[in-house]
Homo-oligomer: A and B are copies of this chain.
Amino acid sequence: MKNKAITSRDEDFAQWYTDVVKAAHLAEYSNVKGCIVFEPNGYALWEKMQSILDKMFKETGHQNVYMPVFIPEALLKKEGELIAGFAPECAWVTTGGSAQLEDRYAIRPTSETLFCDYFSTKVKSYRDLPKLYNQWCNVVRWEKETRPFLRTREFLWQEGHTIHETEQEAKEETLRMLGIYEKFFKEYLAIPCITGQKTEKEKFAGAESTYTIEALMYNGVALQSATSHYFGQKFSKAYDVKFLNRNNEWENVYQTSWGCTTRMIGGLIMVHSDENGLVLPPKIAPRQVAIVPIGSDEEVMALCKDICTKLNAKDIVSFVDDSEKSPGFKFAEHEVNGIPVRIEIGKRDLDNGQITLARRDTREKINVSKDVDIVLEVSKLLDDIQNNLYQRALERRDALTYRTDNLEEVKKIMNTRPGFIYSHWCGDEECELKMKEIRGTKSRCITAEKVGADDKCVVCGKPAKHMVVWGIQY
């Protein structure tokens, strides 16, 4: 039986997405244009993502800090490419209290400028390096078209900002953090990603190079899911961040930044969820097991509570739903909310020595003995769901991954059943722009794949420089 509040995913993907966001109580539109309200279920997902990533960042030596939300316009303007990239989408504060500001303030769209300004007063010697900082905060970009989680005028994110003594160390940091994002997506979100470098056209304003992890959604559209930037000395020269190096000479620091956002919630939905609502990989689910008593029999209730206690004691986050709603209503509710496992316990089953486990990913019901080692059984089931979701996503992505250097074929694919297309590219922006004419197809990233002497650009046919993954982007 299908959830009636949710549009068919194959019929109208955009509407399906909105329906899932609303039905699972993840977010609500607000009266502030382009901004959403994160409801408890949505915010709990973000908290879970934060707690896992924060641990990974700290284990690799990073410390959290917090910079002001405001950037004076004069400060923002010091690095020309950055301001050119971000000025068109800044929100500007012009009045504080009753006074007009002399220098208006941007609400931070990203905080490189503030970090550089701070670093410039703090770093004197190579002994002060590296600084490995991160901040969790809100940022604002004045987008014209918005969609919950995927693109909103205000969003939540983390932005790592590090400075180093050498180019090599900074480049290693850039790739280390890319690796952490990839691991997080694979192991926790159960989302396979392609990693690589952005083209000149697609890189971050002000970066020397931008690395990205790219995921493929159910409908074949690509989502840039996290990025890691190597800045070289671009910002440190503009903002005068320098140190006395080991030769006792002044040198500008080498810098990186890297970030991921609440957009990940959107990616999670569009990869795993289905027509019955949200589907969550157990490792990212704020609540993993819902235990539903059928009827109010004392023995049933006692067993529900007992199982709940046992599971929670082993850090499997579980709860007993003893509300007054009907069992069928509860089943549907926990299903739409994406709780990975539901345990159903009724008097009749219990008399037959059985309880039922229902897994959210396949909606399969499994009868087990009431005397089963429930912690072991549920642990195995959660692992199995986690693996199954990853495999399912991987198979779908592979089925939607194409290799061709034939432009007509690219057109055909993108206009029928889009996905990732591996095609050679000569390196000219002009060819990228021609690809864009095909339903907005953009380079997602340059892969590490070697290019042969005979390989030709998919657009112009000239000798290829890179193997590029192309896709239609969110």
Q: Which residues of A contact B (CB under 8 A)?
A: 28, 30-32, 35-40, 43-44, 46-47, 63-72, 75, 88-98, 104-105, 107, 114, 117-118, 121-122, 133, 137-138, 140, 142, 144, 153-154, 156
Question: Is the beta-carbon distance between B133 and A40 smaller than 8 angstroms?
Answer: yes
Can you identify 17 A-B contacts, CB atoms within 8 angstroms?
A: A28-B122, A30-B67, A30-B118, A31-B72, A31-B75, A43-B65, A44-B64, A66-B156, A69-B69, A69-B138, A88-B97, A90-B97, A91-B95, A92-B93, A94-B94, A96-B153, A137-B138
**Oligomer: number of copies:** 2
Q: How far is the CA of A360 from the CA of B451 in the complex (A)?
A: 63
Task: State the Cβ distance, A48 to closest chain B Cβ, in Å.
Answer: 11
A37-B118, A138-B137 as given contacts; A32 in contact with B68, CB under 8 Å: yes
Question: Is the beta-carbon distance between A30 and B65 smaller than 8 angstroms?
Answer: no
Question: Is the beta-carbon distance between A117 and B66 smaller than 8 angstroms?
Answer: no
Task: State the Cβ distance, A140 to closest chain B Cβ, in Å.
Answer: 7
Residues of B within 8 A of A38 (CB): 65-67
Q: How far is the CA of A89 from the CA of B121 in the complex (A)?
A: 30
Residues of B within 8 A of A35 (CB): 68-70
Question: Is the beta-carbon distance between B89 and A92 smaller than 8 angstroms?
Answer: no
Residues of B within 8 A of A154 (CB): 68-70
Name the residue of chain B whose CB is nearest to the CB of A40: B63
Question: Is the beta-carbon distance between A92 and B91 smaller than 8 angstroms?
Answer: no
Question: Is the beta-carbon distance between B117 and A71 smaller than 8 angstroms?
Answer: no
Question: Is the beta-carbon distance between A28 and B121 smaller than 8 angstroms?
Answer: yes
Name the residue of chain B whose CB is nearest to the CB of A121: B28
Q: How far is the CA of A31 from the CA of B120 in the complex (A)?
A: 12
Question: Is the beta-carbon distance between B40 and A64 smaller than 8 angstroms?
Answer: yes
Task: State the Cβ distance, A101 to closest chain B Cβ, in Å.
Answer: 9
Q: How far is the CA of A66 from the CA of B40 in the complex (A)?
A: 8
